[in-house]
Copies of this chain bind each other. A is one copy, B any other.
Amino acid sequence: MQRLPGVGPKTAQRLALHIIKRPETEVEALAQALMAAKKQIGLCKECFHLSAEPICEICRNPNRDTRTICVVGDSRDVIALEKTREFKGKYHVLGGVISPIDGIGPEQLNIQPLVRRVSQLQPKEVILAISPSIEGETTTLYIGQLLKPFTKVTRIAFGLPVGGDLEYADEITLARALEGRRELE
């Protein structure tokens, strides 16, 4: 249990004791649900988002705009972006970001399939929505260079979070917010 994310020794003990106290049928149901999830949930063959089917719900949806592909690091980012209800295109999940220190190079990520997909589908725009860490930046620039011959490549904006306060923003964010200013409509 301790190996689960966010679960330390104390929580692990609490969880284990809780499970021991429950009736056997309930524990069996949980065990089977875990096995079923592990067996059924794979990656979408097109976009590499988590999916119970070979092709995920988003890729199967005929109402989604195929002319825009949004590239993210992780399936969690797809979920976060879907919650905004702003994006109507398709996704491509890299499965991580380039991080030489962790031994993750471009080959370990779904970058080749992305290039193939872009060269085949010829979307109007590829939006890079990769978290702005140092590794994320590297990944954004790397993929940008690869895709620019095929299509327009954009990246999500840096700046102040909505509801944030100028005074509490770090200097780099503030500098980026200033640099990325836009004309008022």
Q: Which residues of A contact B (CB under 8 A)?
A: 72-74, 76-77, 80-81, 83-87, 127-133, 140-141, 144, 148, 152-167, 169-184
Q: Are B166 and A162 in contact (CB under 8 A)?
A: no
A166 CA to B153 CA, complexed, in Å: 19
In the complex this chain forms, how many copies of it are found? 2
Q: Are B162 and A161 in contact (CB under 8 A)?
A: no
Q: Are A162 and B155 in contact (CB under 8 A)?
A: no
Contacts A129-B177, A153-B183 supplied; 5 other A-B pairs, CB < 8 Å:
A81-B166, A81-B174, A144-B184, A157-B178, A159-B177
A150 CA to B164 CA, complexed, in Å: 29
| A182–chain B nearest beta-carbon distance, Å | 6
Q: Chain B contacts of A80 at CB under 8 A?
A: 166-167, 169, 171, 174
Q: Are B77 and A166 in contact (CB under 8 A)?
A: yes
Chain B's closest residue to A147 (CB) is: B184
A176 CA to B64 CA, complexed, in Å: 20
Q: Chain B contacts of A129 at CB under 8 A?
A: 166, 177-178
A173 CA to B157 CA, complexed, in Å: 10
A180 CA to B155 CA, complexed, in Å: 9
Q: Are A181 and B166 in contact (CB under 8 A)?
A: no
